[in-house]
Amino acid sequence: MTCEEMIYSDAYMDFMFNYLEVIEGVEEFYRNGCVNEMAEDIAIIHIPYVEDVMNNLETIPYSFIPKLFGLMDSSNMEVTGVKQVQNPNSTNLTGRNVIVGLVDTGIDYTNPLFRDADGNSRIGVIWDQTVRNRDSGSEVPPPYYGTAFSMRQIDEALQSSEPYEVVPSQDQDGHGTFMAGIAAGGISRDVDFTGIATEAELAVVKLKETKPYLKRFFGVPDDVPAYQETDIIYAVDYLLKYAGQKRRPISIFIGLGSGNGGRAGLTFLERYLNTIRENAARTVSVPAGNEGNERLHYFGEMQEYVDMEQVELNVAERQEVLTMEFWGNAPTTFAIGLISPQGDQIERIPPRFGEEELVWLPVAKSTVYVAYQLTETYSGDEFIFIRLVNPTPGIWRILVYADEGKQRTFNIWMPLRQFLRPETYFLRADPDNTITVPGNAELANTMTAYNHLNGSIYANAGRGGKLGLRIKPDLTAPGVNITGPGLRNTYVTGTGTSVAAAHSAGMMALFLQWNIENYNLGLFYPKQIQNFFIKGAIRDPELEYPNRIWGYGIMNIERVLNNFRVTGFPPSYPI
């Protein structure tokens, strides 16, 4: 079986691991599979499926299992300074000679917003992970799987009476088309719409949906769209290769988020995104997520004299499977028990290396699975994976026990709201630390959303906290009732932090254009660019910054460029 066939087949499991960790004697683990190295020490492996292999978290660490992602949805040009810097009589920034890369549900390439003044496509490549057995364009890097369509092929499709017979890639959801329109759509005077990087080249990856075995593991319903971490890493890697081939700067947008994997910025996707620190003229914009008000996070802090804390959660009707992640902060060792709404009780399960427990509750008619990882691979914290199968509706209680110590804090997260029934939630939830993965990646520009018409924050926006390497979110941008392109050349409104991240991706593209047109200042690296925008943000004098709700303030590219004019940065080095 080829590597491509393994990637698509549910008979093969997908894992991420540190490539340098493979030592003599371990090769048997991946001998019958396929390994793709993504970065210096990060690889993706595809191996034959083995029943229950993921249940022992000491054998297969939780970090290695691909997390599941969902879409982050539920007069913006002036408040961000975009209209001012687009002005031909000013800096005239349009995204020329810059690539905007999008990882999402695809793009409606027939929409006129994605064509230039001559009617030719501005889309340089569409890598469609869902289209198999088609010839990829020779002008673009070969994809790992699926089909990559080049600009030449897209232009041929646009000239055809049946475009989808030439390039059979369609955005059937509309999310990707909308975000592409915000970040890099053109100008439509009929509806008074203007994208941000109106002349940028687009590079698009349409993600395939996740394999069924991962949906079963995380308890995601079959009919709910979900996307897996490995496909997103492949997508970003491809966009970087494409930009390298074109020798152009790239601003990447990822329109998804995950509730799995902890919130410390240590998932494989977040660690992979941080590898761009070694390259100039590359940026990544991601949403903070829309989980702030969904009551899916619990924070516990046990006092020295307390032996046990009860965590109450309401489980909705028809919640067939519910998974939870318990992260206990080192150095404390935690253990858990459970009580069902009918009074069935699972006594304290001792935390032992490789411990897993499967318990049938006869009265509740539910199955409870608990697996311990005493020291999670990258954080070093204790991790407990909990799965309730056919949980009876009502109030469940998790009994949390802790050994002696003073710093006895823990977090419990449920998956994304769209993966759950609406009435499943913690009774005493904490809205902080609700930024979704990959929002805690250090070098990702993590965006929260606000209503630019009344100045209020988007109520469901994910909030930062004390986890991770720095305060997140980074910045705020418009994300409430924003107009953008829908399918079939319509216009719709969108709300959510992914809309704010699309604003960021567009503004980053304008900055990258300005940077290469002013190369005497030097080519800037991701951390520098991120801090330029932080320094230029609009801040409320009544608030303290950084702020776990607003980040460092409202993103504004005009103020960023004005700071360069004021400070007079000295020349650094020529290209």
Give the helix/strand (H/E) hosting 310: strand 308-315
In a 3-state reduction of DSSP, which class is residue 564?
Answer: helix
Per-residue pLDDT at 96 exceeds 50: yes
Going by pLDDT thresholds of 50, 70 and 90, the confidence category of residue 522 is confident
Rounded to an integer, what is the distance from CA 467 to the centroid of its chain?
A: 17
The total number of residues written for the chain in this structure? 575
Lowest-pLDDT range of 168-177, 227-236, 347-356, 547-556 = 347-356
- Please report the DSSP string for 83-121 in residue order: HHHH-TTTT--S-TT-EEEEEES---TTSGGGB-TTS-B
**Residue 45 to residues 3, 20, 130, Cα–Cα distance (Å):** 10, 13, 20
Instruction: Supply the pLDDT for residue 146.
Output: 97
Percentage, residues of the chain above pLDDT 70: 94
Token pair of 196 as six digits: 């941000």
d(CA 483, CA 75): 10
Instruction: Supply the pLDDT for residue 574.
Output: 36
Per-residue pLDDT at 516 exceeds 50: yes
- Could you report the per-residue pLDDT of 142-199, keeping only the tens digit for each? 999 999 999 999 999 999 999 999 999 999 999 999 999 999 999 998 888 999 999 9
Per-residue pLDDT at 322 exceeds 50: yes
As a whole number, mean pLDDT of residues 475-490 equals 95
Q: What is the pTM of this model?
A: 0.94
Instruction: Supply the pLDDT for residue 24.
Output: 47
d(CA 570, CA 564): 10
CA angle 450, 454, 455 (to 5 degrees): 45
Do 474 and 480 meet the contact criterion of CB atoms below 8 Å apart? no
Q: Map out the domains of the chain with their CATH numbers.
A: 3-50 (no CATH), 76-292+437-567 (3.40.50.200), 297-426 (2.60.120.1290)
**Residue 8 to residues 19, 172, 290, Cα–Cα distance (Å):** 22, 20, 30
